[in-house]
Chain A
Amino acid sequence: MRIYVLYGFGIALSIAGIAYLATEYVRYLTEPLRLLSLLLTTAMFAFFGKYFQEKGW
Protein backbone atom coordinates (compact mmCIF):
# COMPACT_ATOMS: atom_id res chain seq x y z
CA MET A 1 0.00 0.00 0.00
CA ARG A 2 2.81 2.41 0.98
CA ILE A 3 4.38 1.98 -2.44
CA TYR A 4 1.25 3.49 -4.00
CA VAL A 5 1.68 6.58 -1.83
CA LEU A 6 5.18 6.92 -3.28
CA TYR A 7 3.82 6.41 -6.79
CA GLY A 8 1.27 9.14 -6.05
CA PHE A 9 4.05 11.52 -4.95
CA GLY A 10 6.08 10.70 -8.04
CA ILE A 11 3.16 11.27 -10.40
CA ALA A 12 2.17 14.53 -8.66
CA LEU A 13 5.74 15.86 -8.80
CA SER A 14 6.10 14.87 -12.46
CA ILE A 15 2.86 16.64 -13.38
CA ALA A 16 3.91 19.73 -11.37
CA GLY A 17 7.33 19.77 -13.09
CA ILE A 18 5.85 19.43 -16.56
CA ALA A 19 3.27 22.13 -15.80
CA TYR A 20 6.03 24.46 -14.57
CA LEU A 21 8.16 23.87 -17.67
CA ALA A 22 5.12 24.35 -19.90
CA THR A 23 4.30 27.73 -18.33
CA GLU A 24 7.93 28.82 -18.77
CA TYR A 25 8.00 27.79 -22.42
CA VAL A 26 4.56 29.20 -23.24
CA ARG A 27 5.78 32.69 -22.25
CA TYR A 28 7.97 32.78 -25.36
CA LEU A 29 5.32 31.61 -27.83
CA THR A 30 3.23 33.77 -30.13
CA GLU A 31 -0.57 33.68 -29.86
CA PRO A 32 -1.15 31.33 -32.86
CA LEU A 33 1.44 28.86 -31.53
CA ARG A 34 -0.16 28.99 -28.08
CA LEU A 35 -3.51 28.13 -29.63
CA LEU A 36 -1.96 25.29 -31.61
CA SER A 37 -0.29 23.95 -28.44
CA LEU A 38 -3.63 24.06 -26.63
CA LEU A 39 -5.35 22.16 -29.44
CA LEU A 40 -2.59 19.53 -29.52
CA THR A 41 -2.76 19.15 -25.73
CA THR A 42 -6.53 18.63 -25.89
CA ALA A 43 -6.12 16.13 -28.73
CA MET A 44 -3.36 14.33 -26.83
CA PHE A 45 -5.52 13.84 -23.74
CA ALA A 46 -8.47 12.79 -25.91
CA PHE A 47 -6.37 10.17 -27.73
CA PHE A 48 -4.89 8.90 -24.46
CA GLY A 49 -8.42 8.64 -23.03
CA LYS A 50 -9.60 6.74 -26.06
CA TYR A 51 -6.57 4.43 -25.89
CA PHE A 52 -7.24 3.52 -22.27
CA GLN A 53 -10.96 3.15 -22.99
CA GLU A 54 -10.14 0.69 -25.80
CA LYS A 55 -7.87 -1.21 -23.42
CA GLY A 56 -10.81 -1.62 -21.08
CA TRP A 57 -9.49 0.51 -18.16
Chain B
Amino acid sequence: MKYMGINRKNIFLYAAIACLLGIIAIFVFGGYLGLYDTVYVSTGEYEQVIGPDFWQGQRPDVRFPYNTGARWGDTVRFRYEINNRRFSDYSADVEASLWQRDQKLNDMLKQRISLSGFGRTTLEWQLTPQEMEQANLQVGQYTVRISRGGVELGRGIILGFYQDLGPGIPPKPPVRVGP
Protein backbone atom coordinates (compact mmCIF):
# COMPACT_ATOMS: atom_id res chain seq x y z
CA MET B 1 0.00 0.00 0.00
CA LYS B 2 1.32 3.40 -1.00
CA TYR B 3 0.69 6.80 0.47
CA MET B 4 1.82 9.80 -1.60
CA GLY B 5 4.10 7.49 -3.55
CA ILE B 6 5.86 6.13 -0.44
CA ASN B 7 5.46 2.61 0.90
CA ARG B 8 3.43 2.55 4.14
CA LYS B 9 6.11 0.66 6.04
CA ASN B 10 8.75 3.14 4.89
CA ILE B 11 6.71 6.01 6.36
CA PHE B 12 7.29 4.51 9.81
CA LEU B 13 11.00 4.24 9.10
CA TYR B 14 11.19 7.88 7.98
CA ALA B 15 9.16 8.97 11.01
CA ALA B 16 11.58 7.09 13.31
CA ILE B 17 14.58 8.72 11.60
CA ALA B 18 12.89 12.13 11.93
CA CYS B 19 12.45 11.51 15.69
CA LEU B 20 16.13 10.56 15.97
CA LEU B 21 17.17 13.74 14.14
CA GLY B 22 14.86 15.72 16.43
CA ILE B 23 16.56 14.25 19.52
CA ILE B 24 20.00 15.10 18.13
CA ALA B 25 18.81 18.65 17.33
CA ILE B 26 17.51 19.04 20.89
CA PHE B 27 20.85 17.84 22.31
CA VAL B 28 22.77 20.32 20.17
CA PHE B 29 20.41 23.25 20.75
CA GLY B 30 19.85 22.44 24.44
CA GLY B 31 23.59 22.18 24.95
CA TYR B 32 24.02 25.61 23.38
CA LEU B 33 21.41 27.24 25.63
CA GLY B 34 22.38 28.44 29.09
CA LEU B 35 24.48 30.98 30.94
CA TYR B 36 28.16 30.85 30.10
CA ASP B 37 30.96 32.37 32.18
CA THR B 38 34.43 33.04 30.82
CA VAL B 39 37.14 34.66 32.92
CA TYR B 40 40.32 36.07 31.39
CA VAL B 41 43.29 36.70 33.66
CA SER B 42 46.11 38.78 32.17
CA THR B 43 49.43 39.42 33.80
CA GLY B 44 52.86 40.08 32.37
CA GLU B 45 52.87 38.78 28.83
CA TYR B 46 50.28 36.08 29.42
CA GLU B 47 46.53 35.89 29.20
CA GLN B 48 44.82 32.84 30.61
CA VAL B 49 41.30 31.91 29.56
CA ILE B 50 39.15 30.06 32.06
CA GLY B 51 36.24 28.92 29.96
CA PRO B 52 32.71 27.76 30.73
CA ASP B 53 33.81 24.11 30.54
CA PHE B 54 35.97 24.60 33.62
CA TRP B 55 33.19 26.16 35.70
CA GLN B 56 30.36 23.93 34.48
CA GLY B 57 32.34 20.71 34.66
CA GLN B 58 32.38 20.87 38.46
CA ARG B 59 30.03 18.90 40.64
CA PRO B 60 28.18 20.90 43.32
CA ASP B 61 29.75 18.78 46.09
CA VAL B 62 33.33 18.80 44.72
CA ARG B 63 34.38 22.23 43.55
CA PHE B 64 37.96 23.08 42.72
CA PRO B 65 39.85 26.29 41.98
CA TYR B 66 41.80 27.44 38.96
CA ASN B 67 45.48 28.09 39.65
CA THR B 68 47.51 30.84 38.10
CA GLY B 69 50.56 32.92 38.96
CA ALA B 70 51.71 36.51 38.72
CA ARG B 71 54.99 38.30 39.29
CA TRP B 72 54.97 40.40 42.44
CA GLY B 73 54.56 44.05 41.47
CA ASP B 74 52.77 43.37 38.19
CA THR B 75 49.19 44.47 37.61
CA VAL B 76 46.76 41.58 37.28
CA ARG B 77 43.83 42.32 34.98
CA PHE B 78 40.57 40.40 35.01
CA ARG B 79 37.88 40.24 32.37
CA TYR B 80 34.65 38.43 33.11
CA GLU B 81 32.36 37.68 30.19
CA ILE B 82 28.80 36.55 30.84
CA ASN B 83 26.94 35.17 27.86
CA ASN B 84 23.18 34.78 28.25
CA ARG B 85 22.30 32.20 25.63
CA ARG B 86 18.66 32.03 26.64
CA PHE B 87 15.40 33.51 25.43
CA SER B 88 14.68 35.17 28.76
CA ASP B 89 16.33 38.25 30.25
CA TYR B 90 18.83 37.85 33.05
CA SER B 91 19.88 40.21 35.81
CA ALA B 92 22.09 39.51 38.81
CA ASP B 93 24.68 41.00 41.13
CA VAL B 94 28.27 40.20 40.26
CA GLU B 95 30.92 40.39 42.94
CA ALA B 96 34.65 39.78 42.91
CA SER B 97 36.81 39.87 46.00
CA LEU B 98 40.27 38.90 47.19
CA TRP B 99 40.60 36.37 49.98
CA GLN B 100 43.32 34.69 51.96
CA ARG B 101 42.68 31.86 54.40
CA ASP B 102 38.93 32.54 54.56
CA GLN B 103 39.45 36.23 55.25
CA LYS B 104 38.26 38.85 52.84
CA LEU B 105 41.03 41.33 52.10
CA ASN B 106 39.64 43.48 49.35
CA ASP B 107 36.46 44.05 47.35
CA MET B 108 37.43 44.32 43.72
CA LEU B 109 34.09 44.54 41.94
CA LYS B 110 30.43 44.89 42.86
CA GLN B 111 28.09 45.50 39.98
CA ARG B 112 24.56 44.69 38.89
CA ILE B 113 24.15 43.38 35.37
CA SER B 114 21.06 43.16 33.17
CA LEU B 115 21.16 41.10 30.01
CA SER B 116 18.53 40.64 27.37
CA GLY B 117 17.97 37.26 25.72
CA PHE B 118 21.10 36.14 23.84
CA GLY B 119 22.97 39.19 25.12
CA ARG B 120 26.42 39.31 26.62
CA THR B 121 28.44 41.64 28.76
CA THR B 122 32.03 41.96 29.89
CA LEU B 123 33.13 43.27 33.26
CA GLU B 124 36.69 44.38 33.88
CA TRP B 125 38.71 45.05 36.97
CA GLN B 126 42.32 44.88 38.01
CA LEU B 127 44.59 44.36 40.97
CA THR B 128 47.34 46.96 40.91
CA PRO B 129 50.58 46.99 42.92
CA GLN B 130 49.31 50.14 44.68
CA GLU B 131 46.16 48.35 45.85
CA MET B 132 48.25 45.40 47.03
CA GLU B 133 50.50 47.77 48.95
CA GLN B 134 47.53 49.55 50.55
CA ALA B 135 46.03 46.21 51.61
CA ASN B 136 49.42 45.22 53.16
CA LEU B 137 49.70 42.19 50.94
CA GLN B 138 52.88 40.17 50.69
CA VAL B 139 54.22 37.59 48.31
CA GLY B 140 52.05 34.49 48.67
CA GLN B 141 48.86 32.85 47.51
CA TYR B 142 45.48 34.55 47.37
CA THR B 143 42.05 33.52 46.16
CA VAL B 144 39.96 35.65 43.85
CA ARG B 145 36.33 34.72 44.41
CA ILE B 146 33.80 35.63 41.76
CA SER B 147 30.09 35.22 42.30
CA ARG B 148 27.16 35.78 39.99
CA GLY B 149 23.69 35.94 41.51
CA GLY B 150 25.04 34.70 44.84
CA VAL B 151 26.56 31.57 43.28
CA GLU B 152 30.33 31.34 43.31
CA LEU B 153 32.26 30.22 40.24
CA GLY B 154 33.91 26.98 41.31
CA ARG B 155 36.21 27.65 44.24
CA GLY B 156 37.60 30.79 42.68
CA ILE B 157 40.98 31.52 41.15
CA ILE B 158 44.09 30.95 43.23
CA LEU B 159 46.55 33.68 42.43
CA GLY B 160 50.11 32.82 43.47
CA PHE B 161 52.50 35.77 43.53
CA TYR B 162 56.20 35.09 43.05
CA GLN B 163 59.20 37.34 43.29
CA ASP B 164 61.25 37.88 40.18
CA LEU B 165 64.75 36.64 40.97
CA GLY B 166 66.26 37.75 37.68
CA PRO B 167 67.75 35.55 35.01
CA GLY B 168 69.75 33.47 37.51
CA ILE B 169 73.11 34.00 35.86
CA PRO B 170 75.91 34.66 38.38
CA PRO B 171 77.86 37.89 37.92
CA LYS B 172 81.12 37.67 36.00
CA PRO B 173 84.22 37.29 38.19
CA PRO B 174 86.56 40.29 38.26
CA VAL B 175 89.26 40.24 35.64
CA ARG B 176 92.64 39.48 37.18
CA VAL B 177 95.34 41.87 36.09
CA GLY B 178 98.98 40.94 36.19
CA PRO B 179 100.67 37.75 37.49
Contact = CB atoms under 8 A, between A and B. Distances in A.
Interface in A1-46: 22, 25, 28-30, 33, 36-37, 40-41, 43-45
B19 A43 contact: yes
A54 B8 contact: yes
Interface stretch (B26-34, B105-113, B159-167): B26-34
Nearest to B9: A54
Chain B interface size, as a band, is: 10 to 19
Nearest to A54: B9
Interface of B: 8-10, 12-13, 15-16, 19-20, 22-23, 26-27, 29-31, 33-34
Which secondary structure characterizes the binding site on chain A? Answer: helix
Contacts of A54: 8-9, 12
Contact of A41 (B8, B10, B12, B19): B19
> Which of B13, B16, B33 is packed against the most chain A CB atoms within 10 Å?
B16
